[in-house]
Amino acid sequence: MDSSKLMTMKEAVSKFVADGDTVYLAGFTHMIPFAAGHEIIRQGRKDLTLARATPDIIYDQMVAAGCAKRLIFSYAGNPGVGSLRCFRRAHEKGVPKPLEVEEYTHFGLSGRLFAGATNMPFLPMRTNLGSGLPAENDLIKTIKDPYTGDEVSVVPPLKPDVAVVHVQRADANGNSHIWGIIGEQKDAAFAAKKVIISAEEIVDESVIRSDPNRTLVPDFLAHSVVHEPWCAHPSYVQGYYDRDNEFYMEWDKITKEHDSTMEYIQEWVLGVEDRAQYMKKYPKSKLDALLPKPAFSAPVNFGSV
């Protein structure tokens, strides 16, 4: 077994995330790798192009900390709460620095990743026509369908330099089991040039092989494997901890001003060594409230003659 892939988040970010990279921290609401974002901030990466369908709080933090030059996205809000204030401050006022935007619909951006993952030259899709988006984004083009002659919208493949994919469990080589909302994890892993897998649990390869349908990312895509419990907090991991909705609401208050945002980042990101220290610092009663009631699936039989 090639266990040299196992490393800390600090080592993985240091080795695989460079200034100027296009970075995709995967996860549609679910399993957003906050610990990776925090480590990227701590290591002072800059001029990154941050890509995510929903920038979420994690990119809001990275934008506030000055890591980002450009944002590729499709929905820049805090769902059920309101705006992403740091994104807006950067985009509207250039604070702390200007932020370029490259905007798609959800289908457009997830289609770009799918096209990147499957090495398609471009992907046709039934959306964008009639919308103002193509006029503001040169990468959304309209071509003639060679079969019907109709106008059809196309998007180019997206191949991030590095993707971080957090999973419930992986083996030491990076074979990864994911369940719950699977978002764009698989597409991001297949599309990216380098992949950091982080996992709530590192399990034996036999556990993975007992349930191969659940392996969305096979090991040969993974450049590194990080054992990082609670990596996704305040996002969630199905079956491990629930979404910290209270924090998502609090973020709206924390980010009212750039200064108050930076106080948070100073205390909770720059002021801690790693995720373990962040978790130690987090009030235990709040974390206990996030632990889910179990709901196990029925076992399946993978037997053969």
Partner 1 sequence: MSEVSPTELMVIVAARELKDGESVLVGVGVPNLAANLAKRLQAPNLLMVYESGAVGSNPSRMPLSIGDPCLVSGAKSVCSMYEQFAYYLQGGRIDVGFLGGAQIDKFGNINSTVIGSYKAPKVRLPGSGGACDIASNVKKIIVITPHEKRRFVEKVDFLTSPGFIDGKDGWRKLKLQGGGPYAVITNLCTFKFDELTGEMTVVALHEGVTIEQVQENTPWKVKVADDLESTPPPKQEEIEALRALDPQKIYLR
User: What is the distance between the alpha carbons of residues 207 and 119, in angstroms, rounded to a whole number?
Assistant: 31
The single residue listed with the structure tokens 């957003």 is 32
Contacting residue, 11, 19, 136, 204, with partner 1 by CB under 8 A: 136
Footprint of partner 1 on residues 184-243 (CB under 8 A)?
184-187, 236, 238, 242-243
Footprint (CB under 8 A) of partner 1, residues 62-121: 73-77, 79-81, 83-84, 87-88, 91-92, 103-108, 110-111, 113-114
Contact between 236 and 243 under an 8 Å Cβ cutoff? The reply is: yes
- Of 23-31, 221-229, 253-261, 263-271: span binding partner 1 (CB under 8 A): 23-31
Rounded distance between C-alpha atoms, residue 85 and residue 101, angstroms: 15
- Strand ranges for the chain from DSSP E: 22-25, 48-51, 68-73, 77-78, 82-83, 100-103, 123-125, 141-144, 151-155, 162-170, 176-177, 194-202, 215-217, 224-227
Q: Which residue number, 96 or 276, has a Cβ lying nearer to partner 1?
A: 96
128 lies in the site for partner 1, by CB under 8 A: yes
Nearest to 33 by CA among 262, 268, 227, 277: 227
Q: Is 258 in the site for partner 1 (CB under 8 A)?
A: no
User: How many residues contact partner 1, by CB under 8 A?
Assistant: 58
Q: Which residues contact partner 1 (rule: CB under 8 A)?
A: 28-30, 53-54, 73-77, 79-81, 83-84, 87-88, 91-92, 103-108, 110-111, 113-114, 125-133, 136, 150-151, 179-187, 236, 238, 242-243, 245, 248, 292, 295
